[in-house]
Structure 1
């Protein structure tokens, strides 16, 4: 997943993750968010870009369909995944809940994935993702 480093006013942009008053800054231009659906136990992945306007969802993939997780009508089956490009604008922030029923959210960069608790260093509740300036 190649993406140029986003900048705003000459400053490099990063992904900020906030949970329980703690903020972790990741110097990434693009990432994949991965999880397992809590009811259907089916894998889901989304590719995101960090842009000056906010977080841009560029592609979604799901391994199957089920309760509340149907692939988009324009999805195509590629290597066992239904894949499509969502037609959505830029998100100023994305809030990730933690039900405890589906395992952990995983953030992947360059093929290497880490759970959000691994990134924070301890168990977490909900997490807010947003674009931030690198100090």
Structure 2
């Protein structure tokens, strides 16, 4: 199971697969990442972006499906994913089983950073 950690809070998300979503601060396009728990840690199974520009061009091999450029990043499993919340952009969205919530519904709005990691 995957958890969010913010300071002393540990919030189980109730799933071994979640999607993080946010809007790019300049281009205002949607970016999504599908994270899965594995024996190697958290694995980025797919990245999706609705457009390109301002440092967010899809890599070679990305395919356009349903209005999103989609690809599978070649990254090793990670122990944790650290997310910063500047307040200059809309908050992260956390999606579990096609149900999305703003991160502020899960952890305090002032919590920064918030860490995505396998639950202990």
Does the pair score TM above 0.5?
yes
Conserved 8 A contact 2:84-2:113? yes
CA RMSD of aligned residues (A): 1.2
TM-score, normalised via structure 1 length: 0.83
Matched pairs, number: 119
Give the deviation of 1:20 after TM superposition.
2.8
Q: Are 1:59 and 2:50 matched, yes or no?
A: no
Q: Please tell me whether Structure 1 or Structure 2 has the larger radius of gyration of its CA atoms.
A: 1
The 1-side partners of 2:3 and 2:18 are apart by 12
The 1-side partners of 2:36 and 2:90 are apart by 24
**Which structure 2 residue ranges, 5 or more long, are not aligned?**
none
The 5 Å alignment of 1:36-115 reads 36-115=23-102
The 2-side partners of 1:88 and 1:115 are apart by 26
4+ runs deviating over 2 angstroms: none
**Which structure 1 residue ranges, 5 or more long, are not aligned?**
1-13
